[in-house]
Amino acid sequence: METARGRASSKGGVVREITYRQALNEALAEELARDPNVFLMGEEVAEYHGAYKVSQGLLERFGPKRIIDTPISENGFAGLGVGAAMVGLRPIIEFMTFSFSLVAFDQVVNNAPNMFMMSGGQFNIPITFRGPNGPAHQLGATHSHATESLYANAPGLKVCTPATPRDAKGLLKTAVRDDNPVLVLEAELLYSSKGMVEPPDEELLIPLGQAEVKREGSDVSIICYAQTVPLAIAVAAQLEEEDISAEIVDLRSIKPLDEVTIFNSVSKTHRAVIVEQDRPFCGVGAEVCYRIQKNIFDELDAPIMRVSQEDVPMPYNERLEKFVLPNADKLMAAVKKVCYA
């Protein structure tokens, strides 16, 4: 079992260092205990404790009626979840990877977000879709999709992308309580990462649509989310040695998008680099770039730069995969270019 260490919180409890997967597990357990209408459903979530052990111990605690193993049929169990939400339950649907959610695209994009409007307000769909999203390590082209821009394009869907254990717990709990469909896109390579999180007896809810400045800076704003947040923080430390002060803005939510935090940061630094795990064409970075230049163009002292995946299917070969993904060298080069360094 993973262990946690901690320090006192402002409320007298212990702020612990726990892993990303532990934080998600706590969020699930707390919401299942709080509301009997909440249930978890997906492939291997019960007997196997989840493919990434996020649902460890939940079957024993809540039983098979609330922790439900499904066949390999994403379209089927996603649709079952939409129907359950229509009659007042609050399903949490786990996709083993969001690359597999494409099998359930009709349910996630066509049914869940449209039911409220098409029923004339008769049916809310309080459903949460969650699981690992984006490229991991040598999973090949069909298992490495970053789906955030696909789902953010659908009206009625909310999309969040936690990068830290604290954000993972707070955003997931908020998503479960939302009366609308929410996608919690977890970062597969971050499941074992650690961070400080409030104790279980202190309620942790992080609003959707609220970005966070993870690091203050004055020369350039690095706008990022999910797996690119630790990359940006590491690069910012290197840039500091070259007298470039980078501010790190973690979007946390793709939709709704926190324009205010983005604009405040760029208005302070006057330069922006957007780093994302998705591909560049029609990506999240393109939307952020558009909104910056549309609303605060006069604040910019340099063109906005973007660092993303290359626009190719993800290679299986390890060296080619590293070449395709955003990395420290690419981000450093982009920052230095906008800073004319």
Other CB atoms within 10 Å distance of the CB of residue 159: 27
Q: Which of 43, 202, 206 lies closest to 131, judged by CA?
A: 43
Cα 220 from Cα 265, distance rounded (Å): 9
Cα 313 from Cα 145, distance rounded (Å): 9
Q: Which CATH number fits domain 212-338: 2.40.30.20, 3.30.2320.80, 3.90.1150.10, 3.40.50.920?
A: 3.40.50.920
CA dist 12 → 7, 169, 196, 320 (Å): 10, 20, 15, 49
pLDDT, tens digit only, all 341 positions of the chain? 344 555 656 566 789 999 999 999 999 999 999 999 999 999 999 999 999 999 999 999 999 999 999 999 999 999 999 999 999 999 999 999 999 999 999 999 999 999 999 999 999 999 999 999 999 899 899 999 999 999 999 999 999 999 999 999 999 999 999 999 999 999 999 999 999 999 999 999 999 999 999 999 999 999 999 999 999 999 999 999 999 999 999 999 999 999 999 999 999 999 999 999 999 999 999 999 999 999 999 999 999 999 999 999 999 999 999 999 999 999 999 999 999 98
């009366």: which residue's tokens? Answer: 179
Q: Which residues are catalytic?
A: 74, 143
Amino acid at 228: T
Cα 125 from Cα 87, distance rounded (Å): 9
pTM: 0.94
For the chain, domain boundaries: 9-197, 212-338
Q: Which of 218, 315, 312, 220 lies closest to 275, judged by CA?
A: 220
């007896």: which residue's tokens? Answer: 201
Other CB atoms within 10 Å distance of the CB of residue 165: 25
Pairing status of strand 272-275 against strand 246-250: unpaired
Q: Which CATH number fits domain 9-197: 3.30.2310.20, 1.10.357.10, 2.30.40.10, 3.40.50.970?
A: 3.40.50.970
